[in-house]
Structure 1
Amino acid sequence: MSVGPRPPATPRQPPHEHEPGREPSAAARWRQRLRRPSVATGVVALLAGLLFATNAQVFAGDADRHPEDLEGLARVETARLERLERENAELRDEVASYVRRAEGDPEASAGNQLAAQAAGQGALEGPGLSVELWDAPQQTDGLAASLPPDALVVHQQDVEAVMNALWAGGAEAMTVQGHRVVSTTGVRCVGNVLHIAGHTYSPPYRIEAIGSPAKLRSALLDSPDVQTYLDYVDAVRLGWSVRETTVEAPPYAGPLTLTHARVPTGADRAA
């Protein structure tokens, strides 16, 4: 059987999904259905991406305002406390200006000024002493090696011993870490950090007092509690520095409201 020449191949044409006068096939109809929602799907994906990006920015800002970690929370609360203290000081200055304007009696005015100074409401500046205390260095030999770590750090009683000695030496005003000390000021140590006026500080601790430098220094050396601290200064090298300087004592910026405990009576005591 003879085979004739093969006719030239017709070039392959792209499929026509729909020709005029011709019903589209099932496959063509299926491809059309697939292609139509593709635009809607892209729009939905775009909107979802924008939504996720917006939420990320919102939550990031919210995390800054309301941090969940302790360090971030302490930072936010410290900043809020400093802002409130500044506002409190501004309001007190404003009230003081009205009081001074309303006072016509010079003697009454002088008495009020003395009372304000005694309560720490006015800034003071004058000669005095600056005392600094800090922890002992890490040591692996000698007496320090046999002592507990608790004996190598500055404690609350050490800071209070210096403060009490300076008051006994005739201090007119005093600051601890730059905060004005008044009758309601509380200094509290936890471990080797100091809490005062809502703030936390690490060593060195600085106590400054306005008064006669000679009398203040003599009162420090006469204090038995300060002498005990100085024994540790010699034995384990606890930090100790005393120098004469001009002390600037800012006005007290904390609350003036007193809080106190009461003895329970009646049913409260029984409970």
Structure 2
Amino acid sequence: MTEHPHRARRVVARGTLSVALVLALSGALFAANAKFADAQETERHPQDIADLAGSQAERVERLAAQVDDLRSEVDALTEDGNADTAAVGTPGPGYVVESGAVPVAGPGLTVELDDAPVDSPLREQLDPDILVVHQQDLQSVMNALWAGGAEAMMLMDQRVISTSAFRCVGNVLRLHGRVYSPPYVVRAIGDPADLRRGLSESPAVAGYVRDAKDVGLGWHVESSDRLELPAYSGATDLDAATVPEGVEILPGLEEADEAAKDAASQSSQSRKSAPPATGPEGPQGDDD
């Protein structure tokens, strides 16, 4: 067989090239692994469970310290807000009484209104509608008592407040979900003389008193040295309400609100401008 030296050299060249290629790929792989390992060491948490638990514990401590700082800031802001609210929003005795939040007692007036007697001979001669107490009659009496300086009022057995609304249907009174029949009784606490003056100065009440004399409607007014009215026990929600023009709501409320905002702003600025608190220096290491 004839030898071919050029073919042997080609085989040797191919083997050398393959070995070089394998070595190059191995080196690239080792370099990539080393780079990935370095990144893991600097960016990833330790793979050892004990070290990992320690690093997570330190992270929890840092977050807990941040939570404590935020909670302290919230508490400080809450205290400032409560202080402003206590100074501005505490109602006076007049508001408490008018709201019906507390029971009241004192001198006052009792007014009783009633339908004409059932056996009245006038029932056959007059319109029956004239012989009964109407909603506007009660409203006139109560408005006159308020105008006369009433401090608190009760209709039947319920305290009357600013959101109270009653309605007469026929000869039946509906108030705060309850139904009443005549006679209707209104009690008001205040100076009896002033309350009587308020009744006498009301044209609507004067008209009712005149009809009471003419057709027999019930009308009785009695002064008392002491009346006791319970606190209001119903709901105070409003569906809608309007305030007439020119009527001031809670006098001084706007000024107090502005003062509270200024105080809160000054408090916030003082906290921002205050230097950060520094703790005591930690223990120093021993010199070698």
Instruction: Tell me if structure 1 keeps the 8 A contact 2:97–2:151.
Output: no
Aligned position for 1:167: 146
Aligned position for 1:248: 228
Instruction: Tell me if structure 2 keeps the 8 A contact 1:121–1:251.
Output: yes
Matches for 1:1-271 after TM superposition, within 5 Å: 111=91, 113-139=93-119, 141=121, 144-245=123-224, 246-260=226-240
1:134 and 1:193 map into 2 onto residues whose CA distance is 11
Give 2:107's aligned amino acid. P
Once the 2 structures are TM-superposed, how far is the Cα of residue 147 of structure 1 from its aligned partner? Answer: 1.3
Q: Secondary structure, in 3 states, of the residue corresponding to 2:91?
A: helix
Give 2:216's aligned amino acid. R
Instruction: Tell me if structure 2 keeps the 8 A contact 1:127–1:211.
Output: yes
* Cα displacement string for residues 213-263 of structure 1 (whole angstroms, at most 9, x for unaligned residues): 00101110111000110111111110001001222111111112111289x
| Alpha carbons of structure 1 residues 188 and 109: separation in structure 2 relative to 1, 3 Å | same
| Alpha carbons of structure 1 residues 233 and 121: separation in structure 2 relative to 1, 3 Å | same
Instruction: Tell me if structure 2 keeps the 8 A contact 1:129–1:208.
Output: yes
| Alpha carbons of structure 1 residues 153 and 251: separation in structure 2 relative to 1, 3 Å | same
Q: How many residues align?
A: 160
| Alpha carbons of structure 1 residues 115 and 191: separation in structure 2 relative to 1, 3 Å | same
Q: CA RMSD in A?
A: 2.6
2:197 and 2:241 map into 1 onto residues whose CA distance is 37
2:95 and 2:120 map into 1 onto residues whose CA distance is 53
- Segments of structure 2 that go 5 or more residues without pairing to the other structure are 1-81, 243-288
Once the 2 structures are TM-superposed, how far is the Cα of residue 119 of structure 1 from its aligned partner? Answer: 1.1
1:163 and 1:191 map into 2 onto residues whose CA distance is 20
1:196 and 1:190 map into 2 onto residues whose CA distance is 11
Q: Secondary structure, in 3 states, of the residue corresponding to 1:116?
A: helix
Q: Percent identity at matched positions? A: 47
| Alpha carbons of structure 1 residues 248 and 258: separation in structure 2 relative to 1, 3 Å | same
Give 1:117's aligned amino acid. V
Q: Point out 4+ residue stretches in structure 1 off by more than 6 angstroms.
A: 105-110
1:227 and 1:180 map into 2 onto residues whose CA distance is 25
1:112 and 1:199 map into 2 onto residues whose CA distance is 31
| Alpha carbons of structure 1 residues 112 and 211: separation in structure 2 relative to 1, 3 Å | closer
Instruction: Tell me if structure 1 keeps the 8 A contact 2:110–2:221.
Output: yes
* Cα displacement string for residues 102-158 of structure 1 (whole angstroms, at most 9, x for unaligned residues): 99x9977973544322211011000000000000013564x5532111110001001
